[in-house]
Chains A and B, each alone.
Chain A
């Protein structure tokens, strides 16, 4: 296949046959590699029986001829050599005539590679922090400026984002709210039953859901849903030059893209938290009824006794703060996207991870703050 070998004296006659196409390149390469070339022999290559030769095939032939010539052998073609060989030669010649490409950046000496990496990351982290702060500053300034008129607050866009991040999230948030109360009720019932303190299950469910878990898990769900959506939307708009188009039209992208998203989320997340709280309490009541045989009236009475007037508000007040953190992470990372689809994926991931991290960090700070305030 591909090459027939004949010998006349010290001369080797190669007759190329068949289709020398890119798709057969592996077989062609192995056929050429199998040809024995004694030193001092002369090669004659015939191409009359080739049925097809494409550029990849010609390239393989040219490499073979170059190898043979490099060993001091004489190579000739019976008949004219294929045109494509000449094309390759011409291209090679013009490439060599062109000025050499700029050298690659100097490699980092190995002994300082660790230092170099640490330094690079440090510089990048500081730059990232500064960029994030300037993003926050620009967003705040834009928000304050757009407070001057209702039109510049973009009520329609805000409503759309309340719908997208709020209303469509109600089923999953309600389900999560119910499941949290299931977890707390089962865990605590198991522990407290042995002490005969069943009634405290109600305290744990009510306080746990209202103060902490309702808002925290709702925020984490929303960070996964909407934080990623914000980053992906803005990122693909950046890639598609839509953000540049807005700027060029004299429209501030922060005013029409970033602020409405932040406002929408800040409105939606507290509402979602209330739903999670309600479903959590309802789930708690249901479980106490069937798990502990506690009548509904007793559950309601115990909840009233267990919580203070501030318990619900302590949880709810955190929601707008978490919303701002999630929205800022999503929008900031989205606006950083440039050049490639891979960058988009990376920054969406960063947005979600950071949003969840900041939500939990803020929750921890709130916990300390509320303890100091004795709430």
Chain B
């Protein structure tokens, strides 16, 4: 199993506050890896570190074999073309249309004629299940669910093998969230994507994830779905067996 993403001994500290203390994490090709943790446990800091948006105090982050904490800006640019990110709030460029949003990474990284770029961007927009007339709209004219889909289309713009999703279903109604889960599975199957997602949505975890990593006590416990549910750590127990999770229990033991 080829480790597409590898984090070893990660330490992140802000002043006197220690966020990660020797965190290890590994994501192999073709899996969907869910990152779970309490509010303030450092999920976003972890994602920002993996994306190279901030440098850790210590530790190694390898994406596809190259340690991004040690790369120069020019080398990092090459790595960044190999993963796609969909941010929690979408982070769509508000001054650009949906089509231009999806095209922006192509303009930066690919040499394509404008007509080809339009075509390809439309393919991506259709791929995430958006109607073609959404392409001309501006982000402010989209609903929450559409914003998430456009963010996904933009993340897929360069056909990266690795995809990061930050809370992909937060703020969506259960029906839209379920549809989004199916979309993620559909894309994973057809495009052979490896997906790392931060999520709080138990339904999403049980529907899409193969393995789950839980951030507890500044480290990560990762295991298969069945394994993590049985983990004796009190926080993990509370997370998967708390009042909100109880409704799901049948599904877990059925799986």
| Residues of A bordering B, CB below 8 Å | 21-23, 25-26, 29, 54-57, 59, 83-84, 87-88, 91, 94-95, 98, 101-102, 104, 338-343
Partner of A338, one of B126, B139, B140, B158: B140
Which residues of chain B (71-108) have a CB below 8 Å from chain A? 81-82, 93-95, 106
Which residues of chain B (105-136) have a CB below 8 Å from chain A? 106, 109-112, 116, 119-120, 123-124, 126-127, 131-133, 136
For the complex, is B159 an interface residue (Cβ under 8 Å from A)? yes
Once bound together, how far apart are the Cα atoms of A273 and B45, in whole Å?
Answer: 47
For the complex, is B190 an interface residue (Cβ under 8 Å from A)? yes
9 nearest A-B residue pairs (beta carbon)? A340-B94, A101-B133, A342-B95, A54-B159, A339-B140, A26-B111, A22-B159, A22-B158, A340-B95
Once bound together, how far apart are the Cα atoms of A95 and B107, in whole Å?
Answer: 25
- List 7 interface pairs A-B (beta carbons < 8 Å), by A numbering: A22-B158, A23-B81, A26-B112, A55-B124, A83-B190, A88-B123, A339-B139
A55-B123, A340-B139 known; A25+B111 contact, CB < 8 A: yes
For the complex, is B138 an interface residue (Cβ under 8 Å from A)? yes
A23-B81, A83-B190, A95-B126 known; A340+B138 contact, CB < 8 A: yes
Once bound together, how far apart are the Cα atoms of A61 and B95, in whole Å?
Answer: 33
For the complex, is B251 an interface residue (Cβ under 8 Å from A)? no
- Identity of the chain A residue whose Cβ is nearest the Cβ of B192 in the assembled complex: A54
Number of A-B residue pairs, CB cutoff 8 Å, is 71
Partner of A23, one of B95, B138, B158: B158
Once bound together, how far apart are the Cα atoms of A94 and B126, in whole Å?
Answer: 9
Is A340 in contact with B191, judged by CB distance below 8 angstroms?
Answer: no
Once bound together, how far apart are the Cα atoms of A84 and B136, in whole Å?
Answer: 26
Across the interface, which residues of B come within 8 angstroms of A55, CB to CB?
123-124, 127, 156, 159, 191
Q: Shortest distance in angstroms between A107's beta carbon and chain B's nearest beta carbon?
A: 15
Once bound together, how far apart are the Cα atoms of A94 and B159, in whole Å?
Answer: 21
Q: Other CB < 8 Å A-B pairs besides A59-B123, A91-B126, A340-B140, 14 of them?
A: A21-B159, A22-B106, A22-B109, A23-B81, A23-B110, A25-B110, A25-B111, A83-B190, A88-B123, A98-B132, A101-B131, A339-B140, A340-B139, A342-B95
Across the interface, which residues of A come within 8 angstroms of B159, CB to CB?
21-22, 54-57
Across the interface, which residues of A come within 8 angstroms of B132, CB to CB?
95, 98, 101
Is A56 in contact with B111, judged by CB distance below 8 angstroms?
Answer: no
Once bound together, how far apart are the Cα atoms of A98 and B132, in whole Å?
Answer: 9
Once bound together, how far apart are the Cα atoms of A110 and B14, in whole Å?
Answer: 61
Once bound together, how far apart are the Cα atoms of A342 and B93, in whole Å?
Answer: 9
Once bound together, how far apart are the Cα atoms of A104 and B124, in whole Å?
Answer: 22
Across the interface, which residues of B come within 8 angstroms of A26, CB to CB?
110-112
Which residues of chain B (19-63) have a CB below 8 Å from chain A? none
Across the interface, which residues of A come within 8 angstroms of B111, CB to CB?
25-26
